[in-house]
């Protein structure tokens, strides 16, 4: 026997949300996110999936990554799937801004010539904010 679903309007009313505001995109993301973090988060996500609106789909996409619980994220994905079945396109999530790459630090290196035993010395130097880092090593290359 399947579980009886509570109508989405009843869930939204109980949580203090208006369906018209959600469809128009006039509800703050933080308010909905706080309700998704509560005990009725999964039920709210399912109720939002019953509102066929691009604004609701965009809201769900924005909140999917920020939802605190796995069950709520899963309910959001199901709601987005149901909206897609009803012809509401799923908007692409906003791309993360490109992180600036750290500046490349140039290393300087010196290598001595090989002596009679096959030894040579290698020096690597790297500039730091407080001076220079020097690494020296003796390597052996037997003939």
Three-state DSSP state, 24 = helix
Burial 30-67 (b: 16+ CB within 10 A, else e): eebbebbeeeebbbbbbbbbbbebebbbbbbbebbeeb
d(CA 126, CA 133): 5
The per-residue pLDDT for 97 is: 80
pLDDT one-digit tens code per residue, 32-67: 888 888 888 888 899 998 888 899 999 999 988 888
8-state DSSP, 37: T
pLDDT one-digit tens code per residue, 87-138: 998 888 777 788 888 777 788 999 999 888 889 999 999 988 899 999 999 9
Taking CA atoms, 117 is separated from 112, 122, 123, 136, 140, in Å, by 13, 16, 19, 19, 8
The model carries a pTM of 0.61
Domain ranges of the chain: 8-85, 108-140
Q: What is the mean pLDDT of the chain?
A: 86
Q: How far apart are the first and last CA of the chain?
A: 82
Q: Taking 70 as the threshold, does the pLDDT of residue 29 lie above it? A: yes
Handedness of CA 79, 82, 86, 87 (dihedral sign): positive
The per-residue pLDDT for 1 is: 45
């Amino acid at each position: 026997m399947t579980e009886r679903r509570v109508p989405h309007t009843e869930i939204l009313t109980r949580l203090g949300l208006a369906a018209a505001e959600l469809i128009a995109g006039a509800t703050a993301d933080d308010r909905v996110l706080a309700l998704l973090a509560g005990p009725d988060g999964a039920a709210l996500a399912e109720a939002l999936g019953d509102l066929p609106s691009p604004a609701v789909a965009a809201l769900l996409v924005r909140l999917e990554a920020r939802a605190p619980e796995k069950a709520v994220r899963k309910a959001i994905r199901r709601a987005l799937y149901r909206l897609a079945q009803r012809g509401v396109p799923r908007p692409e999530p906003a791309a993360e801004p490109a992180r600036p790459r750290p500046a490349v630090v140039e290393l300087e290196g010196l290598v001595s010539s090989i002596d009679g035993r096959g030894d040579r010395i290698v020096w690597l130097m790297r500039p730091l904010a407080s001076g220079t880092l020097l690494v020296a090593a003796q390597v052996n290359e037997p003939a």
